[in-house]
């Protein structure tokens, strides 16, 4: 999401100040805008419970992995 925001701003500024051709600036800005919209849609449909479940599973795995290293 951050990459899409920075990419949109960067390409818009380069197109505005003439460092980049207007058609290329428009193309890059539209691609980064689509990236931003798709990330917003993905975040809207994400289930927080599923993300928390993955996070808990990862914490347990790291705890077990850390114990195995200490035993070896």
Domain boundaries, the chain: 2-71
Q: pLDDT digits over 24-53, tens only?
A: 999 999 999 999 999 999 888 777 776 667
Nearest alpha-carbon partner for 1 in 33, 49, 44: 33
> Do residues 39 and 1 make contact, with C-beta atoms less than 8 angstroms apart?
yes
Distances in whole angstroms, Cα of residue 65 to Cα of each of 55, 56, 57, 62, 71: 15, 14, 12, 5, 10
Q: pLDDT digits over 60-69, tens only?
A: 777 777 665 5
């Amino acid at each position: 999401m951050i990459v899409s925001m920075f990419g949109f701003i960067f390409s818009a500024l380069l197109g505005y100040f003439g460092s980049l051709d207007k058609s290329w600036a428009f193309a890059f800005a539209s691609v980064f805008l689509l990236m931003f919209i798709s990330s917003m849609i993905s975040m809207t449909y994400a289930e927080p419970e599923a993300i928390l479940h993955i996070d808990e599973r990862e914490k347990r795995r790291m705890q077990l992995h850390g114990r195995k290293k200490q035993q070896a």
